């Protein structure tokens, strides 16, 4: 074996071992391996950083930014609030959430899709009185499956498409993955919704949904009915359905400076300028506000803030009031929070005590948690000026609900142009990002915060290493080994073997790294059998995406570990039969839609 192959196989072995060990983060491990490859002479200096400008790397970054824009515009709220119902049976809930998650994952990053739907799922579980662990794992698996349906749904598809372009001169189009990916996803979802969730062990402590989700504070807040609101003339009680969907509780009504609570408020017909008093956690409050086009209580100050920031750049901050804080014993109005610091007090969380006056005129007490809307660039200074302590960052933002359809339309147009071949996908997504920023859908100040930089570093580092392995002949050596294992059996056996090996790697490694390594192996196996390359490349795409045995195989599985109350060994119980189903369904579907001998 040549020296270059020995070095590269050793580097990949060390990388895989370190990733499985998990002591150091995957981006550091991958970048260190790239640097070692350059120093040892196996990766040429002039191509060492080409992976950072690779189309696959750019598409992953742009998809994350576009996903954030769709969230910020309220497009995702528009979907979920019309489909989620706490009164459904568990199987029905899993099926509906799985379909929503799968469809979202097909058109946005599947990690982002789960991050959007996980709070909705936990909240629905609590309303239904069941453990979130019964539905969170099915939701995670559904978003992983749904990502296989399109080019941009999951990084392995992007990598396979760009690898095909570099190796064969033509990439896959947006929906080339759909015939196999969508059908495999549908079959997998049917299993998850009917049988799979019954295999999940749920511990007693999981009923509370895990500590991370249980610590979310509920605030007493006020929202104002605008002058041109469609709610004018409706009774307050008529909003119960929207409130239940969003997960907020309507407490009362404020009119002409007087607060009315309970039954006396519910029969009142809403007028312009009325304040609706609510109890809710921050995300649910913003969803309810966006759904009904309501204003925050201090609408004049908020309008001024939006004008100053060009309609964007506002963020939601949560802060705890300690003893001795500037605002302790005073109200937001008394200290001039609005005109001094360009900040609006939206809500107050107070354990065990009722808030009886207007939120902005309420005397703040030590131990209260404040919900503030402030310009993103000065939010930290505001919390410090108040003498408060910031809670852990939760990525909260003010939804720009007036731009929902603009965000959807721009994204849909870009997908259509890319699918029809009029625009190269990275260019189409880049145009979406530019328009989102120009139109104020996504603040420029938050643009780079949406990119998951460790994933970008992983991609940028592994792509040159994968190319070096192929150039050195290492990929061909692996191909020969897998072909030898298949022996004289038909090519479909080798295809099945490739899927099984790729899926096993993806369960213990990052799916992106697995796709980078397995793509040239799949092409080499197809060439050794003298058959079309597409079935083998599609097999790699499907298998690399399907990591269901462990919480480290896919980030979605990691996200639900705490909120679902799962243990490391819980995933394989539903994941193993699901992976077997994916292989059993995937192989015939691949051979039907992508014949070995076209």
* Residue 356 contacts residue 415 (beta carbons within 8 Å): no
Contact in structure between 554 and 512 (CB atoms under 8 Å): no
Which H helix or E strand runs over 576? Answer: helix 571-593
483, 494 contact by CB (below 8 A): yes
Residue 8 near residue 501, CB atoms below 8 Å: no
Q: What is the largest CA-CA distance in the chain?
A: 85
Backbone angles phi, psi at 316, to 5 degrees: -105, 130
Encode burial over 184-212: b for 16+ CB neighbours within 10 A, e otherwise: bbbbbbebbbeebbebbebeeebbebbee
What confidence score (pLDDT) does residue 589 get? Answer: 96
d(CA 189, CA 98): 7
Give 575: exposed, middle or buried? Use CB within 10 Å, 0-12, 13-18, 19+: buried
The stretches in the chain having pLDDT less than 70 are 20, 22, 76, 79-86, 109, 112, 115-116, 119, 123, 127, 202-217, 297-313, 351-357, 391-401, 508-510, 552-553, 558-559, 562-563, 568
Contact 154, 511 (CB under 8 A): yes
Output the DSSP codes for 71-108: HHTTHHHHHHHHH--TTS-HHHHHHHHHHHHHHHHHHS
Please give the Cα distance from 260 to 230 (Å, whole number).
22
Q: Do the Cβ atoms of 340 and 378 come closer than 8 Å?
A: no
Token pair 């790397």 is found at 57
Overall fold of domain 218-297: Alpha-Beta Plaits (3.30.70)
Give me the residues paired with residue 347 across strands: 221, 371
What are the backbone angles phi and psi of residue 245, rounded to the nearest 5°?
Answer: -60, -40
The DSSP bridge pattern shows strands 344-349 and 219-224 to be: antiparallel
pLDDT at 137: 92
Coil vs helix vs strand at 503? helix
Best CA proximity match to 49, nearest among 238, 576, 307, 57: 57
Where helices occur in 149-298 by DSSP H, the ranges are 155-168, 178-194, 211-214, 240-246, 263-266, 282-292
Q: How far is CA 537 from CA 172, 499, 529, in A?
A: 11, 10, 14
Tell me, what DSSP letter sits at residue 172?
-
The pLDDT score that the predictor gives to residue 540 is: 94
d(CA 247, CA 250): 10
The pLDDT value recorded for residue 214 is: 39
| 3-state secondary structure (DSSP) of residue 153 | coil
pLDDT of residue 535: 96
The distance in angstroms from the start CA to the end CA of the chain is 36
Residue 257, exposed/middle/buried by CB under 10 A (0-12, 13-18, 19+)? Answer: exposed
User: Around Cβ 310, how many Cβ atoms within 10 Å?
Assistant: 10
* Rounded CA separation 49/467 (Å): 12
pLDDT of residue 479: 72
Report the C-alpha gap between 244 and 135 in whole angstroms: 19
Contact in structure between 211 and 564 (CB atoms under 8 Å): no
**Domains of the chain, residue spans:** 3-207+451-593, 218-297
Is residue 170 a contact partner of residue 572, using CB atoms and an 8 Å limit? no
The answer to whether the CB of 467 falls within 8 A of the CB of 47 is: yes
Q: Whose CA is closest to 64, among 447, 404, 412, 394?
A: 447
Instruction: Locate 435 and state its tokens.
Output: 């328009």
> What secondary structure letter does DSSP report for 149?
G
What does pTM read for this prediction? 0.64
């Amino acid at each position: 074996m040549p020296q270059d192959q020995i070095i590269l196989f050793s580097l990949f072995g060390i990388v895989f071992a370190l990733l499985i060990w998990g002591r150091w983060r995957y981006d550091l491990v991958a970048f260190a391996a790239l640097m070692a490859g350059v120093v040892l002479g196996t990766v040429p200096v002039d191509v060492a950083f080409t992976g950072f400008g690779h189309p696959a790397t750019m598409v992953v970054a742009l998809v994350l930014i576009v996903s954030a824009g769709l969230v910020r515009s309220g497009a995702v709220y528009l979907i979920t609030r019309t489909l989620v119902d706490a009164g459904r049976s568990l199987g029905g809930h899993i099926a509906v959430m799985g379909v929503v998650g799968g469809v979202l994952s097909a058109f946005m990053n599947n990690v982002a899709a789960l991050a959007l739907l996980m709070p909705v799922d936990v909240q629905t579980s609590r309303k239904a009185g069941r453990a979130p662990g019964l539905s969170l794992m099915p939701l995670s698996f559904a978003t992983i499956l749904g990502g296989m349906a399109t080019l941009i749904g999951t990084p392995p598809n992007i990598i396979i498409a760009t690898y095909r372009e570099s190796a064969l001169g033509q990439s896959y189009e947006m929906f080339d993955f759909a015939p196999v990916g969508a059908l495999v996803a549908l079959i997998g979802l049917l299993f998850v919704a009917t049988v799979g969730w019954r295999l999940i062990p749920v511990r007693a402590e999981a009923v509370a949904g895990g500590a991370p989700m249980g610590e979310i504070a509920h605030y007493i807040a006020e929202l104002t009915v605008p002058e041109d609101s469609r709610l004018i003339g409706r009774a307050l009680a008529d909003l119960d359905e929207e409130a239940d969907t969003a997960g907020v509780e309507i407490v009362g009504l404020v009119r002409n400076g007087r607060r009315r609570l309970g039954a006396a408020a519910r029969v009142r017909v809403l007028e312009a300028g009325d304040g609706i008093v609510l109890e809710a956690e921050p995300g649910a409050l913003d969803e309810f506000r966006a759904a009904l086009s309501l204003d925050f209580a201090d609408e004049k100050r908020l309008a001024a803030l939006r004008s100053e920031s060009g309609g964007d750049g506002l963020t939601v901050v949560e802060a705890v009031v300690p003893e001795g804080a500037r605002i302790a014993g005073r109200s937001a109005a008394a200290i001039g929070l609005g005109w001094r610091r360009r900040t609006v007090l939206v809500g107050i969380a107070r354990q065990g005590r009722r808030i009886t006056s207007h939120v902005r005129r309420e005397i703040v007490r030590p131990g209260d948690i404040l919900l503030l809307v402030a310009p993103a660039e000065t939010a930290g200074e505001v919390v410090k000026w108040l003498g408060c302590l910031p809670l852990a960052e939760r990525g909260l933002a003010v939804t720009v609900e007036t731009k929902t359809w603009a965000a959807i339309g721009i994204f849909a147009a870009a997908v259509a142009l890319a699918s029809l071949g009029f625009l190269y996908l990275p260019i189409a997504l880049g145009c979406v990002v530019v328009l989102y920023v120009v139109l104020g859908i996504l603040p420029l100040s938050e643009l780079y915060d949406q990119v998951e930089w460790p994933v970008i570093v992983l991609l940028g580092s592994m792509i040159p290493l994968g190319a070096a392995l192929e150039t050195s002949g290492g990929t061909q050596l692996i191909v020969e080994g897998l072909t030898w294992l298949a022996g004289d059996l038909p090519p479909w056996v080798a295809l099945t073997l490739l899927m099984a090996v790729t899926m096993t790697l993806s369960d213990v490694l990052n799916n992106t790294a697995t796709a980078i390594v397995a793509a040239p192996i799949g092409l080499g196996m197809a060439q050794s059998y003298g058959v079309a390359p597409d079935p083998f490349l599609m097999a790699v795409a499907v298998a690399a995406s399907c990591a269901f045995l462990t919480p480290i195989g896919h980030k979605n599985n990691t996200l639900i570990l705490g909120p679902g109350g799962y243990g490391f060994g819980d995933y394989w119980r539903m994941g193993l039969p699901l992976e077997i189903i994916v292989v059993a369904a995937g192989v015939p579907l691949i051979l039907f839609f992508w014949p070995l001998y076209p």
